[in-house]
Structure 1
Amino acid sequence: MSSTTLSIPTPDGQSDAFAAYPGEGGTHPGVLLYPDAFGPRPVLWDMARELADHGYYVLVPNIFYRHRPAPVFDLPEHITAEHRPELFGQIMPLIEAYTAERALSDAGAYLDFLTARPEVGAGPVATIGYCMGAVLAMRTATAHPDRVAAIAGFHPGALVTDQPDSPHRQIPRLTAKVHLGLAEGDMTPEAITEISQAFDAAGVEYGCEIYPGTVHGFTMSDTEAFDSAGSRRHWERLLTLLGSTLKS
């Protein structure tokens, strides 16, 4: 497995990024991995390496590049509930500044960059994301349906809102296969019903699953939300999805 840091040209500047990919040469299916609200950091880079070990080229962009390079925040080694108020005082202004318009502008640049890498094979890619990254994965896929074959979102952010640009309202454009892995309490029953109905109406193949015993953030081993059983299930579902869409 090989890994490197990169700089991605965007309409607003240069986004720093991390990439991991198999080291034996050749080309591999591409995966665009969006981070959670804590941003790109070692745990995300380790997850990218894990995916690379399964045969994928994984690109992890710094969505907060307009503010500072990754790691964006001065995070403790292990994030607990006691750390969150102070951390989110720093994080929320950056999240609020990352509008849907900026996300879509970046998404096109990230896809262009990923698919142009010499290590990435021809054909559609996957977008995956954690927390707010799940929203970005969905926005990317609905804006570029011909370029994305799979979406995975784990402990997702607000996929169903009452806003006109809510991600679930863009699902009629979607062609990708989808897996949503929810912590208990991530989405209300009403929101799950609404997004499921949108998938059904669009004829999208999808799974929307609540992972038992988990809390929001259960995949992130550098937080107290981490759940080993939930993490294992996440890897099983993710690898099955990618194998059925990118390697078929």
Structure 2
Amino acid sequence: MIIQKHIVDLPTPTGIMRTYVHRPEGDKAYPTILLYSEIFQQTGPIERSARLMAGHGYAVVVPEIFHELNPAGTVLAYDQAGSDKGNSDKANKPAEGYDSDNEAVIAWLANQPWCNGQIGAMGFCIGGHLAFRAALQPQVKATACFYATDLHTSVIPNQPGQHSMDRLADISGELMMFWGKQDPHIPAAGRALVYQKMSGAGLNFSWHEVNGQHAFMRDEGLRYDAQLAMRGYQLALDLFGRCL
């Protein structure tokens, strides 16, 4: 499929959110995937991930996750300064802001002729957590989370009862969780805690742990593992193919 790209600036309760849309050419309606980036926003690797998924017959929407804290179009570098800024943004945006972002995107999708109403979510690193957060929305039927950070911590600011692990009863769709066992950001104890809570809540999910470091699906840098990335994308495509 030939993929087109366009940019939309969506109003949200916390300001305008730049959003990138990657979808097959033409006027046909497709299932839509909300794709959440790492702390660096829509970098080259994230855009390539979006286009890869779009090339399998999906409209893929990539919102700027820290739109309140940066000028529209901001992309942080994969260096220490970029990491420091992204982690600062993560620590300063309340979890409820992601909920209102998701609600704004889903409401907008309802009026797009290229969206057939079937919605899924996926993401990497903090984006894996934000995809998990998107699964709280009843319209999201399937979610693929890749090495989702901070599900086991309180780094993202929350009001009482608003931590993602406190709201598992709001998830109705199927989830796929994909982890690297050598990831220092989500140690074995943290993964075990997430698994225990998801199982205790009776969620419909699959669980995959592989020998990979953090960000092993990012196709830049020394940690990239093409074989594991291919496996992750195939699992996501299987999930969305069944559920959407």
- Fold conserved (TM > 0.5)? yes
Please tell me whether the aligned partners of residues 43 and 221 of structure 1 are also in contact (alpha carbons under 8 angstroms).
Answer: yes
Contact 1:128 1:152 in 2 (8 A): yes
Alpha-carbon distance between aligned partners in 2 of 1:101 and 1:25, rounded to the nearest angstrom? 34
Write out per-residue CA displacement over residues 160-208 of structure 1, whole angstroms, 9 at most, x where no aligned residue: 2367533222112211111111112443333333322333333322112
1:24 aligns with 2:23: no
Q: 1:172 to 1:197 in 2, by over 3 A?
A: farther
Paired positions, count: 234
Structure-1 separation of matches of 2:151 and 2:182: 14
> What's 1:89 paired with?
84
In 2, are the aligned partners of 1:174 and 1:202 still within 8 Å (CA)? no
SS in 2 for 1:238: helix
Name which of 222, 225, 241 aligns with 2:223.
Answer: 225
Contact 1:127 1:151 in 2 (8 A): yes
Q: CA deviation at 1:92?
A: 2.3
Corresponding residue to 2:52 among 43, 50, 53: 50
Residue 138 (structure 1) aligns with:
132
Distance (whole Å) between structure 2 residues aligned to residue 120 and residue 87 of structure 1? 33
RMSD over equivalenced CA pairs, Å: 1.8
Report the TM-score when normalising by structure 2: 0.89
- In 2, Cα distance between equivalents of 1:240 and 1:14: 33
Unmatched tracts of structure 2, length 5 or more? none
**Correspondence list, 1:84-123, <5 A:** 84=80, 86-123=81-118
The TM-score with structure 1 as length reference comes to 0.87
Deviation at 1:28, TM superposition (A): 0.4
Q: Is the CA contact (8 Å cut-off) linking 1:5 and 1:19 kept in structure 2?
A: yes
Tell me the equivalent position of 2:73: 70
Task: Tell me, yes or no, if the aligned pair for 1:172 and 1:201 is still in contact at 8 Å.
Answer: no
Distance between the aligned counterparts of 1:65 and 1:72, measured in 2? 11
Shift of 1:29: 0.3
Q: What is the identity percentage for the equivalent residue pairs of Structure 1 and Structure 2?
A: 23
Other-structure match for 1:126: 120
SS in structure 1 at match of 2:30: coil
